[in-house]
């Protein structure tokens, strides 16, 4: 899965997303992957156009459901929730 690729609005339409996609696919191919998958929100037309140009095709549609479990207030210091320690860190 190619996951959570975001390009800052100031840097969009400069080929960065395409380069990230190509690098990710190359990395995966070198490790034996046969397929690259990604998901795009249905409202994100620019992303749909981009991945179509990159050779992806729609194979499924998903339904999203949400349920409030807290106050909904965002604390920017924690990206909206309490941090959970991970086993691996990139830093």
Say what the pTM is: 0.61
Predicted confidence band of residue 66 (pLDDT cuts 50, 70, 90): confident
Lowest mean pLDDT among 16-25, 36-45, 74-83: 74-83
Predicted confidence band of residue 84 (pLDDT cuts 50, 70, 90): low
pLDDT score for 18: 92
Asked if 48 and 40 count as a contact pair (C-beta separation under 8 A), the reply is: yes
Distances in Å between the Cα of 17 and the Cα atoms of 46, 54, 76 are 11, 10, 26
Q: Provide the 3-class DSSP secondary structure of residue 62.
A: coil
48 within some domain: yes
Report, as an integer, the average pLDDT of 84-91. Answer: 57
Of 51, 48, 49, the closest CA to residue 18 belongs to 51
66 within some domain: no
CA gap 12, 72 in Å, rounded: 30
Q: What is the mean pLDDT of the chain?
A: 82
Predicted confidence band of residue 48 (pLDDT cuts 50, 70, 90): very high
CA gap 85, 78 in Å, rounded: 12
15 within some domain: yes
- Structural domain boundaries, residue 5: 1-61
68 within some domain: no
Burial (CB count <10 Å: 0-12, 13-18, 19+), residue 33: middle
70 within some domain: no
87 within some domain: no
Query: What's the total number of domains in the chain?
Result: 1
């Amino acid at each position: 899965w190619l996951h959570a690729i975001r390009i800052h609005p100031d840097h969009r339409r400069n080929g960065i997303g395409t380069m990230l996609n190509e690098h990710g696919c190359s990395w995966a191919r070198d490790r034996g992957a046969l397929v690259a998958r990604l998901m795009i929100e249905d409202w994100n037309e620019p992303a749909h156009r981009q991945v179509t140009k990159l050779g992806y095709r729609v194979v499924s549609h998903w339904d999203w459901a949400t349920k409030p479990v807290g106050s909904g207030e965002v604390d920017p210091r924690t990206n909206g929730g309490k941090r959970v320690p991970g086993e691996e860190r990139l830093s």
